[in-house]
Amino acid sequence: MWVMLWPEGDRKIIDMSVFKSLRFRIFFAMIFVLALTFIGLAILTVIQYREEAKDYHRERLLRKEQNIKQNLNYVLKNSPYPQETEALQYIFYNKIYEIKDIHNLDIDLYDLQGRLILSSLGRETDSSTQKSLAHEVIKSLGKDPKGHLVQSFSLNEEDYQSSYSYLVSDTFDPIAIVHLPYIADDGFMSKELNENLWRMSLLYGVMLIISIAIAYALSQYITRSLQSISQRLTSTQLLSQNEKIELQANVSTEIGRLVQAYNDMIEQLEQSASLLAQGEREAAWREMAKQVAHEIKNPLTPMRLSVQSFQRKFDPNDPDVESKISEFSASLIQQIDTMSDIASAFATYAKLPEQNNASIDLVATIRLSLELFDAPYIEFESNCETLDMNFDKNQLNRVVTNLIKNSIQSLNQAKTEQPKITVRLQAENDRVLISVRDNGPGIEDHLLDRVFEPKFTTKTAGMGLGLAMVKTIVLSYGGTIDIDQPKNGGAQFNMVFPKG
């Protein structure tokens, strides 16, 4: 993500994730290929025009060379002077200028050693004319079977082509070297090249606009199915009902395979969720059965011992037989009451989370639940006088009652000198917060993760089902519950419910 400062001074954030999306990459790739094609064709066009210009000038120079040499040979044959190197300056003394004017091309004559004999540039040769030929030129010319050489070079920012060939006598003996310097005028070719490049630019400009529209539509089409699959994958949950994606008739093969893989995964996920849920239910019931058996065995053992002891010591003639029977009966009744409490607790936990929701006033309901305890150190705070919400009144009472009982037992067990319990209700925009806080000894850090586990308790009495039941109720309403450890001691249970 980039942060940029604009001229107005505002900070604007540009999300760089768009440049990493598949849609952008497809779009960019298509435009890049088109631009690269245009650049490649433009380069090839320039190269082709340059090669054609070079060939054109070479062929033109050769034609001029052929015509000029025909004129030179004609003058040479009709001259009264002998056809020798020393006589050339007299033979072509004036004719060289006439030939130049006819063909519009300068002519230089050199002897076989490369020394300048005569030039059409003037009787007094100027500095632009070579006084002598380079040894490499003479050597290369001599090696050529046809006695011909063409060289290209640049001078004063102009491109030249020079033609070197032998001027021969009637006996075909070389008597001079003819040098024709030719300026390569590319004005016409450059104009043609610029016009062609301009036409190509217009054509590719139109194609670029069309390609942008096609690339955008194509990238949208390709990624639309991927976005649908991505959204489905994001919303896929193990324990919820997940819908499959319907395959359309015109979908591509690759997208079809991806959709089919997603649908297969949903089927496997449903099977796994079903097996997991079944396993969790079986494990929960096994754990519940073990806990019930354990709790029932606790009172059964003293009951058995009491019966056996009473059976051994029972004497009908004992004058205190009635008091002993009463004592024995009271002991049995106490153990039976304990078993009844155990059965009621497990029955209450097993029936959750059945709900009979109705619109109730949370403020009034919580106040009524607190009045049952009749404890002066219990305080209630609320940021609203009334708060209507769909809730099961009995389950809300269970939640508040269990948390208050838990705090009272903690305070009593620690023998807190100035006990205090604060219940707070806060209504916000889209949620409701209920907290229960006490100033007791709190909960040790290593036990925080186990507080809401069934059958877990740190008290000398109880079965550890109260807080587990509270969490089950809170989760059934789509809420959350957690525990805070205030710095000044105690524990605080925080519950958050979505308003609705």
Q: What is the pLDDT of residue 12?
A: 47
- 351: tokens are 């029936």
Residues 244/259, Cβ–Cβ less than 8 Å: no
Q: What is the pLDDT of residue 427?
A: 92
Which string of DSSP letters, residue by residue, matches 382-393?
ESSS--EEEE-H
Residues 115/132, Cβ–Cβ less than 8 Å: yes
Q: Which of 129, 165, 161 is nearest to 147 (CA)?
A: 165
Q: What is the pLDDT of residue 124?
A: 45
Q: How many CA atoms lie within 13 A of 48 on its CB side?
A: 10
Q: How far apart are CA 176 and CA 86, in angstroms?
A: 10
Q: Which of 65, 92, 70 is nearest to 81 (CA)?
A: 92
Which string of DSSP letters, residue by residue, matches 208-235?
HHHHHHHHHHHHHHHHHHHHHHHHHHHH
- 363: tokens are 């403020």
Residues 363/344, Cβ–Cβ less than 8 Å: no
Q: How far apart are CA 147 and CA 140, in angstroms?
A: 9
Q: CB count, 10 Å around CB of 419?
A: 19
The domain covering 358-498 belongs, at the CATH homologous superfamily level, to: Histidine kinase-like ATPase, C-terminal domain (3.30.565.10)
Residue 464 DSSP SS3: coil
Q: What is the pLDDT of residue 47?
A: 82
Residues 498/479, Cβ–Cβ less than 8 Å: yes
Q: Which of 426, 424, 436 is nearest to 381 (CA)?
A: 424
- 443: tokens are 């909960």
Which string of DSSP letters, residue by residue, matches 90-138?
HHTTTHHHHHHHHHT---EEE-TTSBEEEETT-SS--TTS-SB--HHHH
Q: What is the pLDDT of residue 298?
A: 60
Q: How many CA atoms lie within 13 A of 385 on its CB side?
A: 0
Q: How far apart are CA 389 and CA 396, in angstroms?
A: 11
Distance, first Cα to last Cα, the chain: 37
* 283 beta partners: none
Q: Are strands 378-382 and 421-427 parallel, antiparallel or unpaired?
A: parallel
Considering only the C-alpha atoms of the chain, give the largest distance between any 2 of them, rounded to a whole number of Å: 184
Residues 452/475, Cβ–Cβ less than 8 Å: no
Residue with tokens 């039941």: 469
* Phi, then psi, of 13 in degrees rounded to 5: -105, 130
Residues 360/477, Cβ–Cβ less than 8 Å: no
Q: CB count, 10 Å around CB of 20?
A: 9
Instruction: Tell me the pTM.
Output: 0.39
Reported CATH class of domain 253-351: mainly alpha
C-alpha dist (Å) from residue 50 to 46, 160, 339:
6, 14, 107
| CA–CA–CA angle 97, 103, 109 (5° rounding) | 50
C-alpha dist (Å) from residue 149 to 56, 65, 146:
17, 11, 9
Q: Could you state, in chain order, the average pLDDT of each consecutive group of 10 residues for the chain (500 residues)?
A: 44 49 72 81 79 76 84 87 87 86 87 88 56 84 81 70 85 87 64 76 81 77 69 65 66 69 77 72 66 65 71 75 76 71 62 73 90 85 92 87 87 87 92 92 82 65 70 88 86 90
Q: Which of 49, 336, 73 is nearest to 195 (CA)?
A: 49
Q: How far apart are CA 370 and CA 373, in angstroms?
A: 6
- 7: tokens are 């001229």
How long is the chain? 500
- 22: tokens are 């598949």
- Residue ranges per structural domain of the chain: 24-189, 253-351, 358-498
Q: What is the pLDDT of residue 52?
A: 75
Residues 180/148, Cβ–Cβ less than 8 Å: no
User: Which alpha helices (H) appear in 314-437, and where do they start and end?
Assistant: 321-351, 362-371, 393-414
Residues 405/397, Cβ–Cβ less than 8 Å: no
Q: What is the pLDDT of residue 421?
A: 93
CA 235 remoteness from chain centre: 18
Reported CATH class of domain 24-189: alpha beta
CA 374 remoteness from chain centre: 60
